[in-house]
C-alpha cells in the first residue's frame, strides 16, 4: 500500500499518539522499530499519518512503554483502523478537508461541548441563518460553493438525532442572539430553532448574558470520543482553525468550559412554566428577545 499524500486529521492524530507513546518510553525511532519488529524508516511515516500501524505492533510499543491503560490502547487501535468513510465521503474533493475532518469527529463523538461568543453554533443553525452567514461573510466563494457548504452544515446536524447521538452542551453569548444579517425574519427563525433543538434530550443550551461575567473572546469546540484521552479541541480562527489534542490543552479547555457553564444562565428547560415570564434563565432570555419579533 502506498503512502498517503494528504492524511486526514484522524490519521495524523493516530500518528501523533504513536509518537507520544514512543517518546514517553524514551525510545528512538530505531529502538521503537526494533520493539515493533519493523524497519526504522517506517516509523516516521506512521507518526506523520502517512501510513498506519497494525494492532499487534501498536500493542508491542505500548507494552514497551509500560502503558497499562488498555482502554486508551484499544481506543487508539480503533482510531488507527477506522475506515474514515461516512456520509461526508461524498463531499470529498468538493469541500475543504477540514470540514470533512469535523464531520468525522462529530460522528465519532460521545460528547460535544462548544462556546460561541458571536454566532450560533453550526449544529444549531437554521438553514436561513447559515445561508445569510455565508452570503454576508468575507469568503470569496461563489454562491454555488456557499450553497454546498450550507448543505453540508445542515447534514452535519443529523448527528444530534441519529443513532448513538452525542450529547451536546453549548454555551452561547447573548450577542449571538441579536445577529439578524439585516433581516428580522432570519433572527426570529433562528431563535425559534434554538428553543426547538433545546427540547432534544441530548442537548443542553445555556446563554451567557450581556450583564453577566466577562465573556471569553474565542469560540471553541471540544469533541470527546468514548476514550476521553483522544478528545480534540477546535479553536476557530479566520485563517485556519487550530486542532489541539495534547493533555494540557484538553484540560485547559475543559476547565474554561466548566467556568463558562458556571457563569452562564441556567439551561433551557423543557418545562416552560417557570421561565416564560422571566429572564433569569436561558429560555426566558431567548423568549424575551423573540416576543417583539413575532
Query: How many other CB atoms sit within 10 Å of the CB of residue 122?
Result: 20
Q: What is the pLDDT of residues 18-40, one digit of tens each?
A: 999 999 989 999 999 999 998 88
Specify the pLDDT at position 1.
56
CATH code of the region 9-81: 1.10.260.40
Q: How many CB atoms lie within 10 A of CB 124?
A: 24
pLDDT at 3 over 50: yes
Backbone angles phi, psi at 224, to 5 degrees: -115, 110
Per-residue pLDDT, 136: 82
**φ and ψ at 7, to 5 degrees?**
-60, 145
CA distance 115 to 206: 10
Q: Which pLDDT value is given to residue 274? A: 47
> Band of the pLDDT at 217, cuts 50, 70, 90?
confident
Class of domain 87-293: alpha beta
**Single pTM value for the model:** 0.92
Q: Among 110-114, 246-250, 278-282, which stretch is predicted with the lowest mean pLDDT?
A: 278-282
Grid cell for residue 117: 461568543
Question: What is the domain partition of the chain in residue ranges?
Answer: 9-81, 87-293
What does each C-alpha distance from 83 to 10, 71, 73, 86 come to in angstroms? Answer: 10, 20, 18, 9
d(CA 265, CA 280): 7
- Strands 242-244 and 203-208, sheet pairing: unpaired
CA distance 82 to 79: 6
Strand pairing category for 242-244 and 232-235: antiparallel
Q: What are the cell numbers at 227?
A: 476514550
| Residue 139: other Cβ atoms inside 10 A | 12
The string of pLDDT tens digits covering residues 159-175 is 999 889 999 999 999 99
Mean per-residue pLDDT, 54-65 = 92
- For 231-255, the pLDDT digits (tens) are 999 998 877 789 999 999 999 999 9
DSSP state at residue 294: -
| Helices 40-47 + 29-36 axis angle, to 10 | 100
Amino acid at each position: 500500500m502506498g503512502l498517503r499524500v494528504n492524511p486526514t486529521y484522524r490519521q495524523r492524530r493516530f500518528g501523533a499518539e504513536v509518537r507520544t507513546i514512543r517518546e514517553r518510553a524514551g525510545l528512538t525511532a530505531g529502538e521503537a522499530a526494533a520493539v515493533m519488529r519493523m524497519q526504522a524508516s517506517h516509523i516516521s511515516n506512521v507518526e506523520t499519518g502517512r501510513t498506519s500501524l497494525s494492532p499487534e505492533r501498536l500493542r508491542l510499543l505500548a507494552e514497551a512503554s509500560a502503558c497499562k491503560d488498555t482502554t486508551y490502547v484499544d481506543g487508539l487501535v480503533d482510531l488507527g483502523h477506522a475506515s474514515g468513510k461516512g456520509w461526508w465521503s461524498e463531499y470529498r474533493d468538493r469541500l475543504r478537508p477540514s470540514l470533512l475532518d469535523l464531520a468525522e469527529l462529530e460522528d465519532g463523538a460521545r460528547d460535544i461541548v462548544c462556546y460561541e461568543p458571536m454566532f450560533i453554533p453550526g449544529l444549531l443553525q437554521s438553514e436561513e441563518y447559515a445561508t445569510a452567514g455565508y452570503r454576508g461573510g468575507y469568503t470569496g466563494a461563489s454562491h454555488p460553493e456557499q450553497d454546498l457548504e450550507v448543505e453540508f452544515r445542515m447534514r452535519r446536524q443529523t448527528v444530534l438525532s441519529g443513532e448513538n447521538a452525542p450529547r451536546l452542551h453549548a454555551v452561547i453569548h447573548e450577542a449571538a442572539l441579536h445577529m439578524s444579517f439585516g433581516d428580522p425574519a432570519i433572527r426570529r427563525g433562528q431563535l425559534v430553532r434554538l428553543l426547538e433543538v433545546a427540547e432534544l434530550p441530548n442537548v443542553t443550551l445555556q446563554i451567557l448574558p450581556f450583564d453577566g461575567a466577562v465573556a471569553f473572546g474565542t469560540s471553541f469546540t471540544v469533541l470527546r470520543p468514548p476514550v476521553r484521552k483522544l478528545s480534540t479541541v477546535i479553536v476557530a480562527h479566520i485563517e485556519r482553525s487550530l486542532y489541539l489534542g495534547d493533555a494540557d490543552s484538553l484540560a485547559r479547555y475543559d476547565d474554561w468550559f466548566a467556568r463558562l457553564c458556571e457563569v452562564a444562565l441556567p439551561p433551557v428547560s423543557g418545562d416552560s412554566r417557570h421561565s416564560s415570564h422571566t429572564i433569569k434563565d436561558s429560555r426566558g432570555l431567548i423568549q424575551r428577545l423573540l416576543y417583539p419579533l413575532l
